[in-house]
Amino acid sequence: MLRSLFAGVSGLRSHQVLMDVLGSNIANVNTVGYRSGRMTFQDQMSQTLSGAQGATTTRGGVNPAQIGLGSQVGAIDTLFSQGNFQNTERLLDLGIEGKGFFQLVDQAGGIYFTRAGNFSLDSDGYIVNPSNGLKLFGLLADRTGSINETQPAESIRIDYSMQADAQVTRNVTLGGNLDSRIQPTTASSRNQLLGLFDEYGRSLNLRIGDVIEFSGGFVDKNGNGILDGGDVNLTDLTITTVGSDTTLADLAKAMETALRAATSSTSIAVSVNPDGSIKVSTDSLNPIVGMTVDVDGAPNSILRGIFQDADGDQDIDVVASGSGNTRTMRQADVTNSINVYDSQGNERTLTIAYARATNHVPISSDSLLTGLYTQSGVAMNVLVGDVIEFPAGTIGDFDLSTSGFTFTVTESSTIADLLSAIETALESVDTDSGTAGDQFASVSVSMNPDGTLSITSDTAITGLQIDTQTTSNPGLMGLFEEFGTTALNGINVSAGSTVTTNAGMVSSLNTWNWRAIVPHPAQVFPTNDAGTVIFNSDGTFQSYGSSGLAAPVIKFDPDGTGAENDGVDELSITMDMGRLTQNASASTAAIRTQDGRGIGTLDSITIDPSGIITGVFTNGASMNLAKIQLAYIPNEGGLRRVGDTMFQESSNSGIPVLGNAGEGGRGTISSGTLELSNVDLAQQFTNLIVAQRGFQANSRIITTSDEILTEVVNLKR
């Protein structure tokens, strides 16, 4: 009876421990990273009343007779099953998907482990557990963002005062469309000289520090048209020095000031016309003869070409009390800018201005016959279906007008096709019909780079004309004339000699001129800051003009050389324009990317699944700052709880191994989430009910044993 009473009491003690474990689990159901506990029972040592007896030949075996002495606590285990995740969108809330622990350290060097990833930054930038200040462990990156995996782990600190180094711009990419329908816009008085083009879309190529001067001409005081005594010689008279913001109006005003100062006149006037030309007006005493304008030190052919009047003789003449106009100037058709960076991270503005070329360029072998122009830019109007023939001319004794030669123009007919046909026709006729046997000439008809043609023959050619069959085409006939003549009498080639024809031209409407405007000191000029972009007929990029497919490299020194440069290197920037197109849609051409950056300060951080903390800087740079590492515990159940959802190593946990997330059995890290408690509340309530029933049943043993003992005592009475 006493034994049963002892067994009941021991069972009550075990159930009380179970209730404590269940109570702790339920209390921590909302504790981040909490690992639930489990208690298991085991029976106590039993009392043997009789031992077991083996079977003999005369009787069977007998089992032992034993009485149990109750239950006791078998084990209290910590369960490390995965808990559910809660999205918090808070960067430093970290959850571990899989095995492993965050390793934390205190000021004394004590090491702790936890699954609770609700971290924050302290005042010194350390990542800490906010409830106890323990610091998170991992690897730190060096200044370049490199993480040495062999270095010892240490507390992770995020320094928001750190800076990302500047990176000099070396490459710029341009993209988008240049509108093939665009119409040129004349310059206005407010336009800056640096971004102006002539009427054909060619850049003026003026730069900061260019000294614009009168390079010729005089004020004819006595009106005899000859520079002599009393006249004012304008040659080498300075007009103005180009600055970064000098406008067309500034140039006109400077011209007026220079002319008035030289002549002592108060009525000479220079102004900007609405069509982008400059108007020069004289008074009755100061007619101007042969005035030219150029750039001192580096002659500027485009600028010289603009400063000429209607007679086209490369200068301006203005009679007394009269006026004269220069040629017109154009604005850029498309302009855009971007900041690039020098070696110290200073921003330098790079502006690209585009103007569609409207001039004509020499024909090439693949020029279409339907797109030919004369040397003066007049369309030849060769049409599809035109039949080209020899209307006159002889080769040897043969009359070419009777040769029967014809060439029908198609949409794809090129100048090379026509020249080949002409050469074949000239070589296929009998050049000496008065003698026995056939005589044939050796003739070569070829293209020259300047758009002229060369005709070589070992037999004399006289008065050879090329024209259309039904309606005469003076332009086409003029192309096949000896160079420099306009009589339309045909070509004469002496036997064994070569004759060069006039030049043919084609439109350059698939060509755009561009100009880069960059900061630079006066007279320290950029190089390769202007060029062309040529497109195919379908609007795709073809080439950079004479440079082919080699992207231009602009070089400029933004500050100049010497002490005032403060160590800034010359910029050398490759301009990739190969993504530009020319189509009949709105212009979207722009500088899309550049690979430089200025100095930046740390703005924000990101944490990837491998635990790498990446810093994002205000200049757009990103760099690794640190790597959070996870501890792998060989026997998680052997860890010792120390409160604050922390564990420490015990003699049975095994040696913790700190390493990278996602490696060596460790899980990955999820930023912006928290792993919740792995307590299954429904299961805990079920266990609670079972424990209650067991406790109640166990208590009945004590009550019943007590009643029996009371009855025994009563028997004595």
What are 281-297's pLDDT values in tens digits? 999 999 999 999 999 87
Per-residue pLDDT at 447 exceeds 90: yes
What single DSSP character describes residue 134? P
Same domain, 497 and 516: no
Task: Judge whether residue 181 has pLDDT over 50.
Answer: yes
What CA–CA distance (Å, rounded) separates 101 from 137? 11
From the centroid of its chain, how far is CA 94?
33
Q: Is residue 407 part of a domain?
A: yes
Residue 344 lies in a domain: no
Q: How far is CA 545 from CA 29, 81, 581, in A?
A: 74, 69, 15
Question: Does one domain contain both 70 and 114?
Answer: no
For the chain, the first-to-last Cα distance in angstroms comes to 19
* Whether residue 562 has pLDDT greater than 60: no
**Of 190-199, 227-236, 262-271, 706-715, minimum mean pLDDT range:** 706-715
Q: Is residue 337 part of a domain?
A: no
Separation CA 715–CA 717 (nearest Å): 5
- Structure-model confidence comparison of residues 394 and 679, the more confident one: 394
> How far is it, in rounded angstroms, from Cα 291 to Cα 559?
35
Tell me if 398 is assigned to some domain: yes
Residues 367 and 501 in one domain: yes
Could you tell me if 535 and 442 lie in one domain? no
Mean pLDDT score of the chain, rounded to an integer? 89
Helix (H) or strand (E) holding 25: helix 2-27
| 375 and 493 belong to one structural domain | yes
Q: How many domains does the chain have?
A: 5
Q: Do 320 and 209 belong together in one domain?
A: yes
Q: Are residues 532 and 483 located together in one domain of the fold?
A: no
Residues 6+ apart with CB under 8 A from 548: none
Question: Is residue 691 domain-resident?
Answer: no
Q: Residue 341 falls within a domain, yes or no? A: no
The SS3 call for residue 681 is helix
- 121 - beta bridge partners? 127
Kindly state whether residue 684 falls inside one of the protein's structural domains: no
Percent of the chain residues topping a pLDDT of 70: 92
- For residue 694, pLDDT beyond 90: no
Q: Is the pLDDT of residue 11 over 70?
A: no
User: Which of 11-15, 52-56, 365-369 comes out lowest in average pLDDT?
Assistant: 11-15
DSSP string over 385-437? T-EEE--S-EETTEEGGGS--EEE--TT-BHHHHHHHHHHHHHTS-S-TTSSS
Laid out side by side, the sheet with 505-507 consists of 360-362, 505-507, 372-373
Q: Are 318 and 281 in contact (CB under 8 A)?
A: yes
pTM: 0.66
On the 0-12 / 13-18 / 19+ scale of CB atoms within 10 A, 56 is exposed
- Distance CA(11)–CA(39), nearest Å, equals 14
Which residue has 């690794």 as its token pair? 624
CA distances from 680 to 74, 76, 118, 293, 685 (A): 22, 17, 21, 92, 9
Q: Given pLDDT bands bounded at 50, 70 and 90, which one contains residue 74? A: confident
- Map tokens 């300060």 to a residue: 601
| pLDDT for 129 beyond 60 | yes
pLDDT class of 567 with cuts at 50, 70, 90: low
Tokens of 459: 């037999």
Domain boundary among 486, 507, 528: 507
- How would residue 56 be classed by pLDDT, with cut points 50, 70 and 90? confident
CB 651, CB 115: distance < 8 Å: no
Q: Is the pLDDT of residue 37 over 50?
A: yes
Cross-strand bridge partners of residue 514: 354, 531
Helix axes 681-716, 2-27, angle to 10 degrees: 160
* Structure-model confidence comparison of residues 63 and 129, the more confident one: 129
pLDDT beyond 50 at 563 = no
24 CB burial (10 A radius; 0-12, 13-18, 19+): middle
pLDDT reading at 377 higher than 80: no
Tell me, what amino acid is at 550?
A
Of 89-93, 450-454, 687-691, which gets the smallest average pLDDT? 687-691
Determine the structural domain holding residue 568 and report its residue range: 171-181+508-594
Q: Is residue 321 assigned to a domain?
A: yes
Residues 491 and 431 in one domain: yes
H-helix or E-strand spanning residue 690: helix 681-716
Task: Report the run of H or E that residue 703 belongs to, with start and end.
Answer: helix 681-716
Nearest to 451 by CA among 478, 422, 412: 478
Same domain, 141 and 279: no
Q: Clarify whether residues 114 and 244 are in a common domain.
A: no
Render the burial of 291-316: b for 16+ CB within 10 Å, e for the rest.
bbbbbeeeebebbbbbbbbeeeeebb
483 and 557 in a single domain? The answer is: no
Phi, psi at residue 368, to the nearest 5°?
A: -75, 140
pLDDT score at 692: 72
Summarised one tens digit per residue, pLDDT across range 295-344 is 987 889 899 989 998 777 789 999 999 999 999 999 999 999 999 999 88
| Total residue count of the chain as it appears in this document | 717
HSE of 547, CA atoms in CB hemisphere, 13 A:
14
The residue type found at 22 is L
Beta strand pairing status for 387-389 and 347-356? unpaired
Last residue of a domain, one of 528, 562, 594: 594
Average pLDDT of the residues in 173-201: 94
Spatial contact of 95 and 670, defined as CB atoms under 8 Å apart? yes
- How many whole angstroms separate alpha carbon 605 and alpha carbon 452? 66
Residue finishing a domain among 594, 625, 645: 594
Asked if 422 and 291 sit in the same domain, the reply is no
Q: In whole angstroms, what is the distance from residue 14 CA to residue 71 CA? A: 7
How far is residue 53 from each of residues 48, 65, 195, measured CA to CA in Å?
13, 10, 117
CA distance 10 to 73: 10
Q: What is the pLDDT of residue 434?
A: 64
Tell me how far apart the alpha carbons of residues 199 and 692 are, in angstroms, rounded to a whole number.
101
Confidence of residue 501 (pLDDT cuts 50, 70, 90): very high
The rounded distance, in Å, linking the Cα atoms of 104 and 108 is: 12
Helices (H), 190-268: 248-263
